Amino acid sequence: MISRIFIDIAVACGISTFLALVLVIAQRYLADYGICKVTINKKKEVSVQGGISLLGALSDQQIFLPSACGGRGSCGTCKCQLTSGGGPVLPTEKPFLSAKELGDGIRLSCQVKVKGDIEIQIEESIFNIRRYRTKVIDIVDYTYDIKGITFQLIDPQRIDFKAGQYVQLESQPYGKVKQKAVRAYSISSKPQDNGLIQLIIRLVPEGICTTWVHNHLKVGDEVFLTGPYGDFYIRDTEADMIFVAGGSGKAPIKSMLEYLQVVGTKRKMTYFFGARTCKDLYLTDEMKAFEKVFPDFKYEPVVSQPCPEEGWEGKLGYIMPYFPEAIRDPKNTEAYLCGSPGMLAAVQKALVELGVPQAKIYFDSFG
Ligand SMILES: Cc1cc2nc3c(=O)[nH]c(=O)nc-3n(C[C@H](O)[C@H](O)[C@H](O)COP(=O)(O)OP(=O)(O)OC[C@H]3O[C@@H](n4cnc5c(N)ncnc54)[C@H](O)[C@@H]3O)c2cc1C
Ligand code: FES
Average pLDDT over residues 247-265: 97
Q: Is residue 200 part of a domain?
A: yes
- pLDDT at position 33 is 83
Q: Is residue 45 part of a domain?
A: yes
- pLDDT at position 304 is 95
In the chain the first and final C-alpha atoms are separated, in Å, by 52
**Which atom of ligand 1 lies nearest, measured to the CA of 185?**
5
Least confident interval from 30-39, 87-96, 270-279, 341-350: 30-39
Ligand 2 mean position, distance from CA 92 (Å):
10
228 prior amide bond cis, ω within 30: yes
Query: 112 and 60 in one domain?
Result: yes
> What ligand is nearest to the CA atom of residue 70?
2
Ligand 2 mean position, distance from CA 286 (Å):
35
CA 275 → CA 280, 282, 303, 331, distances in Å?
6, 10, 5, 28
Single out the residue in 205, 229, 253 at which a domain terminates: 229
Ligand 2 mean position, distance from CA 80 (Å):
11
- pLDDT at position 51 is 92
Query: 120 and 205 in one domain?
Result: no
List the one residue out of 113, 61, 59 whose CA is nearest residue 86. Answer: 113
Q: Whose CA is nearest to atom 3 of ligand 2?
A: 73
* Ligand 1 pocket mutation pick from 162, 204, 215, 233 by most atoms within 8 angstroms of CB: 204
List the one residue out of 105, 90, 87, 1 whose CA is nearest residue 36. Answer: 87
How many CA atoms, within 13 angstroms, populate the side-chain half-sphere of residue 115? 10
Least confident interval from 7-11, 113-117, 141-145: 7-11
Ligand 1 mean position, distance from CA 367 (Å):
6
Average pLDDT, the chain: 92
- pLDDT at position 311 is 83
Ligand 1 mean position, distance from CA 202 (Å):
8
Provide the CATH number for the domain around residue 247. 3.40.50.80
pLDDT band at 70 (very low <50, low <70, confident <90, very high): confident
Share of the chain above pLDDT 90, in %: 81
Whether ligand 1 lies within 6 angstroms of the CB of 207 is answered as: yes
Q: Which residues of 316-325 are buried (b: 16+ CB within 10 A; e: fewer)?
A: eeebbebbee
- pLDDT at position 345 is 95
Average pLDDT over residues 280-300: 97
* Nearest-angstrom CA–CA distance, 10 and 13: 5
Single out the residue in 111, 126, 141 at which a domain terminates: 126
Q: Is residue 29 part of a domain?
A: no
Whether ligand 1 lies within 6 angstroms of the CB of 201 is answered as: yes
- pLDDT at position 40 is 95
Q: Is residue 23 part of a domain?
A: no
**Which atom of ligand 1 lies nearest, measured to the CA of 181?**
25
Residue 260, pLDDT above cutoff 60: yes
Question: Exposed, middle or buried by CB within 10 Å (0-12, 13-18, 19+), for 204?
Answer: middle
- pLDDT at position 310 is 77
Single out the residue in 126, 144, 171 at which a domain terminates: 126
- pLDDT at position 32 is 75
Query: 302 and 194 in one domain?
Result: no
Please give the full DSSP string across 151-167, using - where no structure is assigned: EEEEES------TT-EE
- pLDDT at position 18 is 62
Ligand 1 mean position, distance from CA 79 (Å):
19
Q: Taking the model in full, what pTM does it have?
A: 0.88
Residue 169, pLDDT above cutoff 70: yes
Whether ligand 1 lies within 6 angstroms of the CB of 212 is answered as: no
Average pLDDT over residues 207-220: 97
Q: Is residue 5 part of a domain?
A: no
Query: 157 and 120 in one domain?
Result: no
Q: Is residue 26 part of a domain?
A: no
Q: Is residue 177 part of a domain?
A: yes
Query: 343 and 249 in one domain?
Result: yes
Residue 148, pLDDT above cutoff 90: yes
What order of strands is seen across the sheet that includes strand 130-141?
Answer: 181-186, 166-171, 222-229, 130-141, 146-155, 196-202
Query: 92 and 139 in one domain?
Result: no
Strand partners, 40: 44, 120
Q: Whose CA is nearest to atom 43 of ligand 1?
A: 204
Provide the CATH number for the domain around residue 195. 2.40.30.10
Query: 266 and 335 in one domain?
Result: yes
Query: 274 and 259 in one domain?
Result: yes
Residues 93-124: pLDDT tens digits? 999 999 999 999 999 999 999 999 999 999 98
Query: 358 and 295 in one domain?
Result: yes
Count Cβ atoms below 10 Å from residue 327 Cβ, excluding itself. Answer: 20
pLDDT band at 163 (very low <50, low <70, confident <90, very high): very high
Residue 180, pLDDT above cutoff 70: yes
Please give the full DSSP string across 280-314, using - where no structure is assigned: G--SHHHHHHHHHHSTTEEEEEEESS--GGG---S
- How large is the angle between the packed helices 250-263 and 284-293, nearest 10 degrees? 30
**Which atom of ligand 1 lies nearest, measured to the CA of 199?**
8
- pLDDT at position 307 is 80
Provide the CATH number for the domain around residue 62. 3.10.20.30
**Which atom of ligand 1 lies nearest, measured to the CA of 74?**
47
Query: 245 and 361 in one domain?
Result: yes
Ligand 1 mean position, distance from CA 32 (Å):
35
Q: Whose CA is nearest to atom 28 of ligand 1?
A: 207
Strand partners, 106: 81
Please give the full DSSP string across 195-234, using - where no structure is assigned: TEEEEEEEPPTT-HHHHHHHHT--TT-EEEEEEEE-S---
- pLDDT at position 67 is 86
Query: 118 and 59 in one domain?
Result: yes
Residue 170, pLDDT above cutoff 60: yes
- The amino acid present at 8, given as its one-letter code, is D
Ligand 2 mean position, distance from CA 167 (Å):
14
Whether ligand 1 lies within 6 angstroms of the CB of 363 is answered as: no
Stronger pLDDT, 89 or 4, i.e. the higher one = 89
Please give the full DSSP string across 128-148, using - where no structure is assigned: G-EEEEEEEEEEEE-SSSEEE
Residue 140, pLDDT above cutoff 90: yes
Ligand 1 mean position, distance from CA 247 (Å):
12
Whether ligand 1 lies within 6 angstroms of the CB of 184 is answered as: yes
- Per the structure, the complete domain to which residue 329 belongs is given by 240-365
- pLDDT at position 226 is 95
Pocket of ligand 2 (CB under 6 A): 67-69, 71-78, 108, 110
pLDDT band at 69 (very low <50, low <70, confident <90, very high): confident
Q: Which phi and psi angles does 22 have, rounded to 5°?
A: -60, -40
CA 119 → CA 38, 106, 116, 161, distances in Å?
6, 12, 10, 28
- Give the chain's domain count: 3
pLDDT band at 271 (very low <50, low <70, confident <90, very high): very high
- pLDDT at position 99 is 95
Question: Exposed, middle or buried by CB within 10 Å (0-12, 13-18, 19+), for 127?
Answer: middle
Contacts of 164 (CB under 8 A, 6+ apart): 186, 230, 232, 233, 234, 252, 255, 256, 336, 364
Query: 285 and 328 in one domain?
Result: yes
- pLDDT at position 22 is 56
Residue 30, pLDDT above cutoff 70: no
